[in-house]
Amino acid sequence: MTDQLRLMAVHAHPDDESSKGAATMAKYVSEGVDVLVVTCTGGERGSILNPKLQGDSYIEEHIHEVRKKEMDEARDILGVEQEWLGFVDSGLPEGEPLPPLPEGCFALEDEDEAAGRLVRLVRSFRPQVITTYDENGGYPHPDHIMTHKISMIAFDDAANTEKYPEAEFGPAWQPQKLYYNQGFNLPRTVALHEALLARGMESPYEDWLKRWDDFEREPRTLTTHVPCSEFFETRDKALIAHATQIDPEGGWFRVPMDLQKEVWPTEEYELAKSHVDTSLPESDLFAGIRDNA
């Protein structure tokens, strides 16, 4: 263990890093922590979600290059490092029955082989903490679920030189803690929704809350609330940098910033694995690590 703290955030697509835990990352960067975002795919099959850019033939034909440039801008705004794993976006299958996933996509890769690419980065970057998605992917996109799978393998096996030989994958390294991003949680959504109504304002969460039970998920345990409200503006700037994916006038930005900071000034995580002692709830992803670093 060195005296430098390092955080690795593993995400499925460009833009995921800016919508999940971005303020946390910007906070840690400001404190001198090394932060690396790992982006598993290029977002090649992502739709153009910003209505102002829909129908732009150049963007449609060059979506991979456009999203890479968006990622470059968001990375610079957040102040993080970033690496691509190089897998191909699986797309989000829709219909009944669901169509098969496209050949060669990320979600159809061999899990251990795909995890090997992440193991190389874990061993070279040597993070004490990794963040990723839970077993549902945060939502059931096949790339998010695959991101969860390879993150779990890499966390456990980056120290296993029998499975991933040192000669090929670099010296062994064991991360100390692994977290699931849980920023889109029910308590936060209810708190913001009720605060908006109390101010006599329209809430963008009303329909979402009505459909919450349809998600058929067990409640998640929010173990870690990281105070990071002073970086909410940085988070939003990074998100807007992903112009093909985000409408600056859309629902993401309908909650006044002062209300967000007052009502819910944290980002949430679920501690999934730990090799260090820590007391729950936490306010720091490096709890139990700082004293030993």
Torsion of CA 58, 63, 65, 68, to 10 degrees: 140
What does the block give as tokens for 125?
């970057």
225 is in an annotated binding site: no
Angle between helices 22-30 and 63-78 (to 10 degrees): 40
Answer for the pair 192, 32: CB distance below 8 angstroms, yes or no: no
Predicted local distance difference test score (pLDDT) of residue 53: 92
Place of tokens 């996933």: 101
Place of tokens 């963008």: 204
What pLDDT band is residue 87 in, cutting at 50, 70 and 90? Answer: very high
Q: Which pTM was predicted?
A: 0.95
The string of pLDDT tens digits covering residues 187-202 is 999 999 999 999 999 9
144 is in an annotated binding site: yes
Predicted local distance difference test score (pLDDT) of residue 217: 66
16 is in an annotated binding site: yes
Whole-number Å distance between alpha carbons of 226 and 72: 25
Nearest alpha-carbon partner for 265 in 214, 192, 216: 192
Q: How many residues does the chain have?
A: 293
224-227, strands of its sheet edge to edge: 81-87, 34-41, 6-11, 129-132, 177-181, 266-274, 224-227
What pLDDT band is residue 216 in, cutting at 50, 70 and 90? Answer: low
What pLDDT band is residue 293 in, cutting at 50, 70 and 90? Answer: low
Predicted local distance difference test score (pLDDT) of residue 96: 81
Query: In whole angstroms, how far apart are CA 102 and each of 89, 108, 150?
Result: 9, 8, 19
Q: Is 79 left (phi over 0), alpha (psi -120 to 50) or beta?
A: left
Residue spans of alpha helices (H) in 83-172: 111-125, 142-157, 166-169
Q: What domains does the chain contain, in order, with CATH numbers?
A: 6-184+221-292 (3.40.50.10320)
Beta-carbon contacts of residue 48 (< 8 Å; ≥ 6 apart): 54, 56, 59, 60, 63, 244, 245
Predicted local distance difference test score (pLDDT) of residue 1: 39
Answer for the pair 204, 248: CB distance below 8 angstroms, yes or no: no
Angle between helices 22-30 and 232-241 (to 10 degrees): 120
Burial (CB < 10 A; 0-12, 13-18, 19+), residue 182, is buried
**Run of H or E including 49:** none
The string of pLDDT tens digits covering residues 117-127 is 999 999 999 99
**Run of H or E including 131:** strand 129-132
